[in-house]
Amino acid sequence: MSTPLERYQRDLGSEGFVRDPAQANAVRLLQELYDQLMASGKESEGFLAKLFGARNKPPEPVKGLYFWGGVGR
């Protein structure tokens, strides 16, 4: 599976795609969100943390993104 940044860079190599600074910024934000989501829940806990119940803490929520504006540019 491609990351948002990998997909964007691959698409830029295709005919008809032109780099756009606003889209590049959106892709950067999507990549940051993707990285946070992929990392959430993967923190390895040590033996003692598991033994003494540190696992009972809910994970910190990941902030999402909201894009607004017209479709297309």
pLDDT at 15 over 70: yes
* pTM (2 d.p.): 0.74
CB-count exposure of residue 27 (10 Å: 0-12, 13-18, 19+): buried
Query: What's residue 43's pLDDT?
Result: 63
- Domain ranges in the chain are 4-56
Mean pLDDT of the chain: 86
pLDDT digits (tens, 9 = 90+) for 33-66: 999 999 986 765 667 666 776 666 777 899 999 9
